[in-house]
Amino acid sequence: MGIKPLTHNSLSEVVRNFTPNWFTLNMGTGIAFLTLHNIKANLFASQMFWGEILWLVDIFFFVLFSVLFIARIVFYPEAVKLMFKHPVQSMFLGAIPMALVPILEGFAIFGPSLLGDMALDISLYLWWFDALLAAGVGWLLPYFMFTIQKEHKLENMTAVWLLPIVASEVTASAGGMLAPYFSAATAETMLVTSYILWAFSVPLALSVLVILFLRLVSHKLPEKALAVTSWLTLGPLGTGALGLLLLGNASRTVLMGTGLENVAEFLYSFGFIVGLLLWGYGLWWYVMAWIITLKYFKEGLPFNMGWWGFTFPVGVFTAATLQLWKATDYEVFKLLGILFAIQLAVFWILVFIKTLKGMWSGYLFQAPCLSPETGLPKPEEECEKFAKKRSDGK
């Protein structure tokens, strides 16, 4: 017995088949409007206006996806249990805290003009919530990998292993961006917490990249449905560099007049040096991702929600590049930052349009055990059980 693709797009079917990989849309859209804000070159007249519009669109989709995901947990808990056991689909739980980060940063950037001082309070509360969520996912998913997920083998490994791990460093980079907005005590606590979150993520992510290199050498490239995962390698490197650069900048402001004042300059220098090294490592993976992607494009690359991997990793690498331009005033970083930003814009427009078409037609709402970007089926008996319940209307 097999599971047939959905033939209608009822709300119950959408809820039953909703998976956390939809939050990658928020990640991609979020980094798009943050890039419009971060890039100081005036590429077009209404640059900041469209940044704010994308922020509001991102909030709409995040709320919508959160409602659908909570509804799935409440009404279809058996499907959620299957998701936790799946060695790929479960990794996208890490997308939820990462999706929230651009939104909470948007409250600090765009919010004050709409909500006044309350916008910064919202941003602060959301950041602490996101920190707990990111750390929780960073512990929970590896534990599931160690225990209930039975399908993990080196030949099946892809860069999606990075998703739950990278969430903490994404939150850390937001802490570096937000800390200067707040009072001394709050900012110092946020800064220290952000360095801890960075350490939760980057060393482990670097270890995964080593294993991933071994997997690619030993078992070659993954199947076409997982082609976009080659871009995910930029995530921990771009965000790791961005986080240290932002935290180092914030340290100069936040730690002045505190007991940690004597380490502020060190943290700035450390952030620049290590950030530059991580950026250089990321540049290697950036070129490799292009080479791999061009190979897949020649063979035909099927669209799935995994295509959002073209956006967020490129976006955070772009943000790190722009921060290096700000720190050094080197023209090469400016030119590369603009080039990467244009690439991000092209990818985002392409993937957003394809996603809207897929949502409208309903084909993107598939049973989670058969989502094409997972690459692996769930254990056969569990898929059969899930299919029977769906066909019986339970």
Q: Check pLDDT > 50 for residue 8.
A: no
Q: By percentage, how much of the chain surpasses pLDDT 90? A: 73
Does 78 reside within a domain? yes
The CATH number that applies at residue 182 is: 1.50.10.150
pLDDT confidence bin for 365, thresholds 50/70/90: low
Residue with tokens 């061009």: 294
Please report the DSSP string for 54-114 in residue order. Answer: HHHHHHHHHHHHHHHHHHHHHH-HHHHHHHHH-TTGGGGGGHHHHHHHHHHHHHHHTHHHH
DSSP, residue by residue, 264-290: HHHHHHHHHHHHHHHHHHHHHHHHHHH
Question: Are the beta carbons of 341 and 38 closer than 8 angstroms?
Answer: no
How far is 22 from 69, CA to CA, in rounded Å?
A: 10
pLDDT tens figures, 106-141: 999 999 999 999 999 999 999 999 999 999 999 999
Residue 353 lies in a domain: yes
For residues 35 and 74, give the distance between their C-alpha atoms in angstroms, rounded to a whole number: 36
Q: How far apart (Å, rounded) are the C-alpha atoms in residues 94 and 136?
A: 10
Sign of the CA dihedral 197, 199, 202, 205? negative
Number of structural domains in the chain: 1
Question: Tell me: the pLDDT tens digits for 273-299?
Answer: 999 999 999 999 999 999 999 998 888
Rounded distance between C-alpha atoms, residue 95 and residue 134, angstroms: 9
**Is 1 part of any domain?**
no
Structural domain boundaries enclosing 339: 11-388
Q: For residues 381 and 185, what is the distance between their CA atoms, to the nearest angstrom?
A: 54
Instruction: Compare 385 and 206 and report the one with higher pLDDT.
Output: 206
Q: pLDDT band for position 43 (50/70/90)?
A: low
Res 362: pLDDT: 66
For tokens 């590429």, the residue is 43
- 5, part of any domain: no
- Reported as a single tens digit per residue, the pLDDT across 58-103 is 999 999 999 999 999 999 998 888 899 999 889 999 999 999 999 9
Name all contacts of 223-226 with Cβ < 8 Å and 24+ positions apart. Answer: 223/375, 224/296, 224/299, 224/300, 224/301, 224/302, 225/302, 225/304, 225/306, 225/372, 225/373, 225/375, 226/158, 226/160, 226/306, 226/373, 226/375
What is the rounded distance in angstroms from the CA atom of residue 162 to the CA atom of residue 202? 10
Question: Is the CA virtual torsion 122, 125, 126, 127 positive or negative?
Answer: positive
Q: Is residue 383 part of a domain?
A: yes
pLDDT band for 226, please (50, 70, 90 cuts). confident
The answer as to whether 145 is a domain residue is yes
6 found inside a domain: no
- Cα separation of 258 and 264, whole Å? 10
How would you write 329-356 as a 3-class SS string? CCHHHHHHHHHHHHHHHHHHHHHHHHHH
**Does residue 2 fall inside a structural domain?**
no
